[in-house]
Structure 1
Amino acid sequence: MYERPFVLHFSTMTIDGRIASATGYSILSCKFDKLRLYLLRGMVNAVMVGASTVNIDNPRLARRIGDVKPYYRVVVDGRLSTSPNARVYNDTSVPTIVFTGGSAPREKIEELRRRGVEVVVVGEGHRVNLGDALRILLENYGVKRVLVEGGGVLAHSLHRERLVDELRVTIAPVLFAAGRSIVDDPEGRGFTEWPASPRLSLECHEVCPCGHCIHLVYRVRDAQCCPVSTPPPRCLADRILRAARL
């Protein structure tokens, strides 16, 4: 059993578990929930997203409250399907690391490296070995805490391999009925029964200062490997209110 960073999965979702509608609409966070995200980013060494999040949302992933160092943006893209013109690759305020598979196009790897992006091949074919990627983040980059922001496919892979230590969700008062799920298996199987699901224990719950959303914090009881760090503070309502007054 190897050591790895503490992995925290954070997402804002609808009451029916969607992070985006069928048309791709994904604006769910109130101003306080955005502050929660920025506070969490300030407490970790890396924020991790999948290829779909980069392609659809085109985030910068740079804004945060706090100054924990080191701080990296991490993209998991087994096929290198993301555009080299994505903001996460062209904003130089924060270094970016891309983990990709062994079959990734060589010309795309070189293009990203010319832009100052670190590209690490870890895994065979178009699959990224997530356990190895986390170990590399710890050993080569000094990353002790990772914040996973999406999307659903990456989240499913991490949960399936029991590489998530904590799940934090903000539930917005919205129903989509279709669209992208917080945890999404592209093969359509999912966790087929209760014993197959990660075992979660509720550690904290609080009503968002907006009065309409609920924030829940779950510990993953059957996470694998040995995280080298502890979780960030779990109940952040007071810090969020202080940040809102700044």
Structure 2
Amino acid sequence: MNELIKVEVKADTQVVSARELYKGLEIKRRFSAWVSDNFKDFIEDVDFTSVRKSTEVKNNGGIQIRELQDYAITISMAKELCMMSHSEQGKRYRKYFIELERKWNDPQEVVKRGYAILQNENARLKIENQAMKPKALFADSVAASHTTILIGELAKILRGNGINIGANRLFQWMRDQGYLISRKGTDYNMPTQRSMNLGLFKIKESTITHSNGSVSISKTTKVTGKGQQYFINKFMKMNETA
């Protein structure tokens, strides 16, 4: 089917330009008069919407851009306008619009449009989700960066950002990746020299006085603000590529 007039889709509705239809119907009256006489039986923002159309006109040997009043009209309204023209062109355009509607309402086309809308919605949600992750990550990191936290508390922050990991698994991962000392002994689960050089951890020492009067030193590994940002970002990136 040869294209008689450009058709656009807005809000899942087929629309055409009133000016283009006016031209195609070969209306002799001024456009504004034609609109005034024929649009009064239609509902604005339902059957038609007001739009502005840019066009080039010659002016003193040069080109000037002018803004013209136009309307985006539905196919149903366009069909009625064609009937109201009482012309051969009106019959021709009306048949064209009837065929457009038939194809538009064909079950296969409806399913195809529905699938396209679903795909677009999924893509939009994915983009929004990706955009929200850095914001949530940034907010959590800033809140956490004011103080050092336990590795178990870092696991809770990671779970809050969609990372499925607990304290024990996080300790194991840090040992496997060389952030914590894995050999059994007094330094077990203490930061490696590499981690300390990166500023990811601090060691908190506490003095414990026992009932027999002896004193011992307890060491606890805590994650710095920099370490929190480092590990959260690392896990978020790993989660995106998983």
- One fold, TM greater than 0.5? no
Using CA pairs under 8 Å that are at least 6 residues apart, name the structure with larger relative contact order, 1 or 2. 1
Larger radius of gyration: 2
Q: What TM-score do the two structures reach when normalised by structure 2?
A: 0.20
